[in-house]
Homo-oligomer: A and B are copies of this chain.
Amino acid sequence: MCGCLVESVPNVSEGRDRAAIEAIAAAVQEVPTVRLLDVQSDFDHHRTVFTLVGEPHGMAEAVLRLFAAALPRIDLRTHRGEHPRMGAVDVVPFVPVRGVTMADCVTLARQVGQEVWDRFRVPVYLYEEAASRPERRDLAAIRRGEFEGFAQKIQTEDWAPDFGERVLHPAAGATAIGAREFLIAFNVNLGTSDLRIAKAVAQAVRGSSGGLRYVKALGLALGERGIVQVSMNLTNYKKTPLARTLELVRGEAARYGVPVVGTEIVGLIPEEALYQAAAHYLSLEQFTPDLILEQRVDSAFKG
């Protein structure tokens, strides 16, 4: 092992059949250099999200084993769930974690995409950083029409797959495979029960409506607690950091006299994002990870 680490978060269109989900989880765990960190199934979405981490070569193998285990167990012709989907294995992003560049992840996406077509005859679209053209960066644009509309869509001029022929797999549809930065799910709770305020703040901070470039946001009510939440995805925490995002939310909420009462991280957060936030708020003039005891210890024992 080179110590290089990549994350992959395959989204599979099966969220109800325990035995099927466990069989898929078992398949990816056969690769010794890859670990399954998390499995989250949602009954209503009828979808399961697997979080894998490992060295790049092993990760390609693990994802192919996931396809091999998932495809015989899922038939989209009878699949109904709340979450949009076009494939049995719907989306597979690769994310750089340690000692791996975005370019490495793009290469990995292309290699796996080619193999998925060759071995399983599932057509593949490359998305985000791996996209072959600008209009395919956005996963939602690729998936529009979903499985039911895709038999037609795949035959249009604009939607030839990046790997494979213009024929949908009858039961497994098509798959989007891509490369992206680590996604941080960051929710900010506001001290009001007025949902309109959460929606207005979400609109102000999200990139699509004029806010921060790498923030997706929506306003939700937290019924039980009697408060509202600005629920966000930070799609590039290096360019749009947590601290700047929180302070913009705080400022927009203050415009209505509403305070931030708490926040939460859903899922995982890279240590670098926390270091960034600490350095920002502590006003550190010269912060480098080399100041961190554990990093120095690790490099001393490696070196």
Q: Interface residues, chain A, CB within 8 Å of chain B?
A: 5, 7, 35, 37, 53, 97-98, 182, 189, 242-243, 246, 260-265, 267-271, 274-275, 277-287, 291-297, 300-301
Contact = CB atoms under 8 A, between A and B. Distances in A.
A270 B285 contact: no
Nearest to A1: B301
A35 B297 contact: yes
Contacts of A287: 265
B297 A5 contact: yes
B283 A269 contact: no
B97 A297 contact: yes
A182 B284 contact: no
Main secondary structure of the interface of A (DSSP, over half): mixed
A35 to B, nearest CB: 4
Contacts of A270: 292-294
Contact of A269 (B243, B264, B292): B292
A243 B5 contact: no
Contacts of A274: 274-275, 278-279, 292
A55 B79 CA distance: 55
B284 A265 contact: yes
A243 B261 CA distance: 18
A295 B269 CA distance: 10
A37 B275 CA distance: 21
Contacts of A261: 283
